[in-house]
Amino acid sequence: MLPFPIVDVNKGCSLLVLLVLTGLAAPGWGNDTDVAVGPRRVKQGDVLALTFPLRAAEGVAAVGEFVGRFHDRETPVFPVAGGVGVLLGVDMEDVAGTSDFVLERRKADAPVTVARVAVTILPGDFGVQKLSLPQTQVDLDAETVERVEDEQRTMLATMRPVTPRVWKGEFVLPSEGSVQRTFGLRRVINGQPRRPHTGEDITAPSGAPVLAINEGTVQLVADHFFSGKSIVVDHGLGLYSMYFHLSAVTVHPGDRVAKSQVIGAVGASGRASGPHLHWGVRLNGARVNPLSLATAVASVADNLQ
């Protein structure tokens, strides 16, 4: 198993800003009181871990009654010792500024706000990456454009459902290769500005094993124009991991995979300049830095129910 390193976020890495909220007054939860909490700061593309205590009378059986909301995205909760937790994904292109994360309790008539956190999103300070690729992979004909658009719709639809949590404990790296810190880079391909890079590249020899970062269910196995041989794994609670440019795939849709299980091999399929693994993560629709999962989950792993 390849555990993530714990990274000092003060050294310029756009990783997790970990915020575990404790000390919210327990009285009031039963009365659906709106509890105000001081503002928190997080960079674009990072993950924010939050925990909220519940009265003993509420119990973990009431977890399903709660949901978080941020930027019109729902954030499902999970039980932790004495309360509930959430993993809030801040999209890499969420607008910088301050917005409220709201924890709601579902009621028959209308949801009731029980906690509120002002979250200030800071610019991600992403760099620029210049690439040179064959022109046929950059200037696409009409047929290829139609194919790419259809593949994008398929990918988004695959990652839309929110299923029960199956990930357990800490996450692991999917490859022993060299992590390139490419998440969020503004790409310029053959001199043309392109969309930012939504994943983390790990350079490794062709054929090197690719591992599932945690337990999950394989939701998609495909061979797409840009991502090549691809795998998408659903870990539950809106958390999906993606593995692109593979040379081989050893799983099938519907397979339940274990943490550190080999699911494929590093390659250069699709639009790639050489052998590497493109590793992406979506968290309730937000494109987030995969490396940020390490500290986020580690902070709550011991208290998971």
| pLDDT of 55 | 63
Domain at 128-290: CATH code: 2.70.70.10
Residue type (1 letter), 187 = R
| pLDDT of 48 | 86
| pLDDT of 23 | 33
Residues 103/235/184/15 CA torsion (nearest 10 deg)? 70
pLDDT > 90: percent of the chain = 51
Query: In 271-293, which positions are buried (b, 16+ CB within 10 angstroms) versus exposed (e)?
Result: bbeebbbbbbbbbbbbbbbbbbb
Bigger pLDDT: 59 vs 127: 127
**Is the predicted pLDDT of residue 21 greater than 50, yes or no?**
no
Fold of 9-124: Immunoglobulin-like (2.60.40)
The pTM of the full predicted model, rounded to 2 decimals, is 0.83
Ranking 37-46, 69-78, 220-229 by mean pLDDT, the lowest is 37-46
Same topology between domain 9-124 and domain 128-290: no
| pLDDT of 300 | 67
Phi, psi for residue 151 in degrees, rounded to 5: -65, -35
| pLDDT of 167 | 93
Which of 101-105, 114-118, 224-228: highest mean pLDDT?
224-228
Phi, psi for residue 218 in degrees, rounded to 5: -70, 120
Alpha helix (H) ranges present in 56-190? 142-158
Which residues on neighbouring strands pair with residue 281, listed in sequence order? 241, 288
**Is the predicted pLDDT of residue 159 greater than 90, yes or no?**
yes
| pLDDT of 136 | 64
pLDDT in tens, 169-198: 889 999 999 999 889 887 777 766 667 889
Domain ranges of the chain: 9-124, 128-290
pLDDT in tens, 66-104: 899 998 889 999 888 878 889 999 999 999 999 999 998
**Is the predicted pLDDT of residue 282 greater than 70, yes or no?**
yes
| pLDDT of 128 | 72
